[in-house]
Amino acid sequence: MIKKVKTSQLRAGMFVHDLDMGWMEHPFLLKRFKLTGKDIEKILALKLREVYIDTEKGLDTDSGTDIADVRTEVQKRIEEASVTPPPPPAAPSRFDTIQKVPVKEEWFRANKIRKESLQIVSNLMADARLGRQIETDHLDTVVEGMMQSVFSNQDALLGAMRIRTMDRYTFEHSVSVTVLVTAFCKSMGMSSDAIREVAIGGLLHDIGKSRVPSGILNKPGRLTEEEFSVMRQHVDFGGEILEASDISDISRGVVMEHHERYDGSGYPFSKNNETISLYGRMAAIVDVYDALTSTRCYHQGKSPHWVLSKLIEWSKYHFDPELVQRFIRCVGIYPVGTLVVLKSGRLAVVIELNEGNLLAPIVKVVYDKNKRCHLPTMRLDLAQQTTVPADKIVGSDVPDTYQLNMEAILSV
Ligand SMILES: [Fe+2]
């Protein structure tokens, strides 16, 4: 049986099935292994709270929760999240009057903003690498465009950011985090001034990586313990790079706190609970969501739906549980860019949410799993079907398995 046990219950001779620590690099060579006393010390030093063990391959314990029960509980909480009403706006926003437009109307502007933002982050990191003073004044313009686009239809920019190239990960991740956190702030009813500051923090959140040697930053494989500790320094480096800049406390909070964890297990300050700013707690969720859904040279991106399920699970300790629920309400149960499996055996990519029914988004049908063949791309609004029986989502998958051209599919 696979069960989840508290790390305080671990004993040598148990068999680790999953360390369940997908949000961070770790120094273990194998994913699944028989535990020694030294391994347990390492696990406790990493401040892991729970891991999965396989009781057929190693020792058992009386405590723990069956993996099936964990999954049932997570599913229940995802469904609760989908019906969580948004909080009332904290302050009137100057974007309140923007009328929502269809994704295809917003697509052109979204792509232009994507390109401009990538260039800006690339320039900022190049300046930081050369030890030049970072100029943050011109970030206002690109952030303004991003906010306009998110308020017009966030799914256009969120979809555009799912188009990734593996060699530009740091830039694309920075911009993607910014778009996600902007949409997250909007869904929380924050003022436009606060959203702008959080977005600036998003663009700058990994600026400290410019000082991490590229051999470590772009290493095509698992980092050693020493390399990992250098990587973790990127937050302090970011603080140093931005020391002389006049960015706001909100923006600085995003940069300095995006690796803090709700239970105090993060870095660099091991802050916990509400000692981490609201913006830092939001950025932590978004940062992990984007990192895990992205394909890199040594890591295949996970399905957004799967990552949301794990965020729910991890929010027991590591992330603010209420904010994780709010994030799911913002991006949807099946976020834009998710490859979903339909009851008919067809595969489809989510291109736009139906706010009134997060279980039935608008998709593009692309593949037939039964016949194992690509299909002519067809738009399908799962909430507005005329065929009987109506199709519905039964699961999610990852695009890489089917050699899908996500750029072409996501382009409207
Ligand atoms: Fe980071």
State the alpha helices, DSSP H only, in 161-219.
Answer: 169-187, 192-204, 214-217
Domains of the chain: 2-63 (3.90.105), 81-331 (1.10.3210.10), 339-410 (no CATH)
Residue 118 structure tokens? 């990538």
234 near 211, Cβ under 8 Å? yes
Residue 182 structure tokens? 């902007």
Q: How far apart are CA 67 and CA 166, in angstroms?
A: 33
Question: Which residues sit opposite 349 in a β-bridge?
Answer: 339, 364
Ligand 1 centroid, distance to 348 Cα (angstroms): 32
- DSSP, res 270: -
Ligand 1 centroid, distance to 21 Cα (angstroms): 16
Ligand 1 centroid, distance to 241 Cα (angstroms): 14
Q: How far apart are CA 270 and CA 87, in angstroms?
A: 29
Backbone torsions φ then ψ of 326, nearest 5 degrees: -65, -35
Per-residue pLDDT of the chain (412 residues; tens, 9 = 90+): 999 999 999 999 999 999 887 756 666 777 889 999 999 998 998 888 899 999 999 999 999 999 999 999 998 888 888 777 766 766 677 787 888 898 989 999 999 999 999 999 999 999 999 998 888 888 999 999 999 999 999 999 999 998 887 678 889 999 999 999 999 999 999 999 999 999 999 999 999 999 999 899 888 877 888 998 999 999 999 999 999 888 999 999 999 999 999 999 999 999 999 999 999 999 999 999 999 998 877 778 899 999 999 999 999 999 999 999 999 999 999 999 999 999 999 999 999 998 888 889 999 999 999 999 999 999 999 999 888 788 999 999 988 788 888 888 888 6
Ligand 1 centroid, distance to 356 Cα (angstroms): 34
**pTM across the whole model:** 0.92
- R_g of the chain, CA atoms, integer Å: 21
Instruction: Please give the angle made by the CA atoms of 322, 169 and 102, to the nearest 5 degrees.
Output: 60
Helix/strand number for the chain, H first, E second = 14, 10
Residue 129 structure tokens? 């690498």
Ligand 1 centroid, distance to 342 Cα (angstroms): 35
Ligand 1 centroid, distance to 206 Cα (angstroms): 5
Please classify residue 300 by burial: count the beta carbons closer than 10 Å to its beta carbon, then call 0-12 exposed, 13-18 middle and 19+ buried: exposed
Q: Which of 124, 118, 119 is nearest to 160 (CA)?
A: 118
